[in-house]
Amino acid sequence: MTTAPRDADVQRALRGLEDNRSSVRLRAAMAAGSTPDPAFVGKLVERCAVEPEFFVRDMLTWALTRHPVSLTLPELLRDLRADRPQARSQALHTLSKIRDRQAWPAITPALLSDADDEVARSAWRAAVVLVPEGEEADLADVLVTQLGRGDRKVQLSLSQALVALGEVIVPVLSVAAAAGDPGVRAHALATRRLLHDPDAGFESVIEEAKRIVALTGAPREGG
């Protein structure tokens, strides 16, 4: 059982979150999560938006999950509208860890198609965690519009998000597999393969899908 932090400890941790040394910021984030206090929430969210070190960002997210949703949710939802891409991305990442479906209405098509790849990837992961039962097909309709986007890392993230929705993605993937864009067709075929063979490596299935698309050529108009 954790005990409430003393005022001096709170102030020390708040100062530590601003320290130039990443090791100090990491310890401060750990302290904020180990002894939660409402005074930490705003600063933790603020720090998520600018923190350059991955491991510190991860600890900031963990610290936020240790605080009441009633305190963290409003701050995180506000950052979904921030101009800074990292603020949006980290807010989405943290919401996916908190897993409170009150956040679902804020996962908009605009976020799911955000111009920044890291924001979009975070939105896809958050969406498949937060989507209410019965709305998976609607989410799949939005996600397939992103097929063919980005590099292999981005495409893998989208495929994983789609596969997490299950068999509901089969009809929309079938439509996408007949699209005019060869990149979209290949990505759709690769994702369908991963749905039925989760152990297949993405690198191999996307290359196989590209070969199939190259051999079959463009789909016939109207067919």
pLDDT value of residue 6: 74
Q: Report whether pLDDT(161) > 50.
A: yes
In terms of average pLDDT, the best of 1-5, 6-10, 133-137 is 133-137
CA angle 21, 118, 56 (to 5 degrees): 20
The mean predicted confidence, pLDDT, of the chain is 94
C-alpha R_g of the chain: 20
Q: Are 189 and 212 in contact (CB under 8 A)?
A: yes
Q: Report whether pLDDT(158) > 50.
A: yes
* DSSP state for residue 84 in the 8-state scheme: S
DSSP string, 133-171: TT-HHHHHHHHGGGTT-SSHHHHHHHHHHHHHTGGGGHH
pLDDT value of residue 7: 87
Between 73 and 199, the higher pLDDT residue: 73
pTM of the model: 0.91
pLDDT value of residue 89: 98
Using a pLDDT cut of 70, give the percent of the chain over it.
Answer: 95
Instruction: Enter the tokens of residue 65.
Output: 């999950």
pLDDT value of residue 4: 56
Q: Report whether pLDDT(10) > 80.
A: yes
Q: Are 82 and 48 in contact (CB under 8 A)?
A: no
- Domain ranges, ordered by start, for the chain: 134-223
**Residue-wise pLDDT tens digits, 23-32:** 999 999 999 9
pLDDT class of 219 with cuts at 50, 70, 90: low
Using a pLDDT cut of 90, give the percent of the chain over it.
Answer: 89
Q: Are 206 and 222 in contact (CB under 8 A)?
A: no
Spell out the residues 6+ positions from residue 150 whose beta carbon is closer than 8 angstroms to its own.
117
Q: Report whether pLDDT(104) > 80.
A: yes
Q: Report whether pLDDT(125) > 50.
A: yes
pLDDT value of residue 222: 45
Q: Report whether pLDDT(5) > 70.
A: no
**Residue-wise pLDDT tens digits, 68-103:** 999 999 999 999 999 999 999 999 999 999 999 999
Q: Report whether pLDDT(43) > 60.
A: yes
Residue 180's CB: how many other CB atoms inside 10 A?
Answer: 9
Instruction: Enter the tokens of residue 9.
Output: 């400890």
